[in-house]
Structure 1
Amino acid sequence: MLRQRVITAVLLLAVLLPCLFAPVTLPFALFTLLAIAAAGWEWARLNPLAAAMAQRPVAAWASGALLGGLCLLWLARWPMPPRAALAGGTDPRLWQAGLLLWVVGLVIALRAGPTGWPRLPTALRWLLGLSLLGLAWLALVQARGIGVNFLLSVMAVVWTADIAAYFSGRAFGRRKLAPQISPGKSWEGVYGGVLGVAVLACVWLLLIDPRLPVDSPSLFRLLLQRGGAGLLLVGVLLLTALGVCGDLFESLVKRSAGVKDSSQLLPGHGGVLDRVDALLPVLPAALALISW
């Protein structure tokens, strides 16, 4: 299993890194478009519009193709320059509406729980998931347009929170966060995740932004410039919380569907949704925060 995970990761990085560091945004946008279309296929399998869809794979493939086609249409109609201005690109009200949609969606899902989620209208679940996936892809492309340093600082929030929460939970975890959804998560792990992201922000502000030849301000620099220490603190808390809730959201959906992984598209890693679940709410939320 470990060998399989390493091989998959190396192959993905071999394609992702050249796209990420390309002088224009288009290669990265196209590569991630394929990934988000695959995530749409996985979502449709986990939340079929009808019970018969589980026996009709073409319906799930159609959902992924629909999501990918809509994203491609947006890309063709609104091409992005090599570097998107911080105030340019997509209307910032989209990110603010997206943040609100995520908060409302998370409240609905987490209140329903694994047993209540399948009882929600199937069309609502299907549409909600595809809409949030499309929004995350738009945010990902916009973040890359701002700059690689900005994008990596946003993604590092999720990675750091996840790693810090794991070790903090293992060492100090006592109170379960959501035992019916993810028994391994604890409140102590969440606190450790917040602390880890706070340290990350300090490292980026004191070492990376001022001392390395970065191509753009980081998320933390922009939060500090636009709202001072208060907005920076709110950003750290909000983005860490959204990352945790995004992870819980996908775990809830998988548990209600009775599966361990969203798919086996990535050997050794599960599916695309398994890799990006925490990023989905964090990306639009980060753009919403800097738009204020």
Structure 2
Amino acid sequence: MLKQRVITAVVLLAVLLPALFAPMAWPFAVLTLVMIGAAGWEWARLNGVAGGGAVSLGLALAGACALALWTGWAASAPHLAWWLATLVWVLGGMWALRVGPTGWPVLSKVLRCALGLVALWTAWLALANAKSTGVNAILSIFCLVWAADIAAYFGGRTFGKRKLAPAISPGKSWEGVWSGMAGALALAVAWLAIDRSFAVDSMSLYSMLRDRLGTIGLVAGTVFLAAMSVVGDLVESLAKRSAGAKDSSQLLPGHGGVLDRIDALLPVFPLALALTSL
């Protein structure tokens, strides 16, 4: 299993890194478009859409992303898209976590699929826009999620006592959440120093938050985004538990599905762009 995970990770990096660092924005946009389409197929299957129906929804999502790319939204999307995503994630996420796996199927299959596809579409749009802004900008958002996840893991293992959402993800604790927020703030401080000391191609998320919202806004925004990364993870776990699935699919050998790898990123990217649009 470990060998399989490593091989898959190496292949993914070999494909993603050239697209991420390419001087043009479209290779990364096209590559992530394919991945988001696959995630749409996974989401449909987790919510009771089988066979050709799930494939059709995945293709429709990829088509909606392609349309945004063709119209130029992948480089400069309306800010309304970020606030739509904020509304869906904050209100929808709160409701989903409150009702838990047993309450999730109360929503109609159509509404569950629609909410997921909207969240995936705005996440892809935000990814593409962040890449168009610059490598420093997009990497700073990626690394916020990764830093929060790593800090939450070790903080939860070391200090974790109070369960966060035992019915959804028994391994998560409140102490892990606080540790994740602290890790994200530590990263923000370090990244601001990098922005000041080195020539970068664009402002990072942290520089944009500080310049537009001040130090308090930087701290509040970073903590909020770290918290929303946990919400993204929990919402996907909720859908899997409701469907009785361990992974979203087996598209990525040793890693599960695409959703399993990007769940925490989905709310953070559009919400980060919403905050920096203020």
What range describes the TM-score normalised by the shorter chain of this pair? over 0.9
Aligned partner (choices 58, 81, 91) of residue 52 of structure 2: 58
% identity of equivalent residues: 59
Structure 1 residue 79: deviation in Å? 6.3
Gaps of 5+ in 1: none
SS at match of 1:205: helix
After superposition, residues 26-37 of structure 1 pair within 5 angstroms as 26-37=26-37
Which segment is superposed worse, 33-42 or 232-241? 232-241
After superposition, residues 128-277 of structure 1 pair within 5 angstroms as 128-206=115-193, 208-277=194-263
TM-score, length-normalised on structure 2?
0.98
Q: Deviations over 1:162-212 (max 9, x none)?
A: 000000000000000001100100000011001101100010011x21223
Question: Using the alignment, how far apart are the partners of 2:87 and 2:60 within structure 1?
Answer: 24
Q: Deviations over 1:2-49 (max 9, x none)?
A: 11011101111111111111111000000000000000000010012x
Gaps of 5+ in 2: none
Residue 14 of structure 1 aligns with which residue?
14
Question: Using the alignment, how far apart are the partners of 1:45 and 1:123 within structure 2?
Answer: 12
Aligned partner (choices 111, 120, 123) of residue 98 of structure 2: 111
Following TM superposition, the consecutive aligned residue runs of length 4 or more in structure 1 with deviations greater than 4 angstroms are none
Residue 75 of structure 1 aligns with which residue?
69
Residue identity in the other structure for 1:75: L
CA RMSD of aligned residues (A): 1.0
Question: Using the alignment, how far apart are the partners of 2:93 and 2:115 within structure 1?
Answer: 11
Structure 1 residue 213: deviation in Å? 2.8
Q: Aligned in 2, Cα 1:200/1:139: closer, same or farther, shift over 3 Å? A: same
Question: Using the alignment, how far apart are the partners of 1:96 and 1:234 within structure 2?
Answer: 17
Question: Using the alignment, how far apart are the partners of 1:198 and 1:103 within structure 2?
Answer: 21
TM-score, length-normalised on structure 1?
0.93
Question: Using the alignment, how far apart are the partners of 1:79 and 1:46 within structure 2?
Answer: 29
Structure 1 residue 101: deviation in Å? 1.6
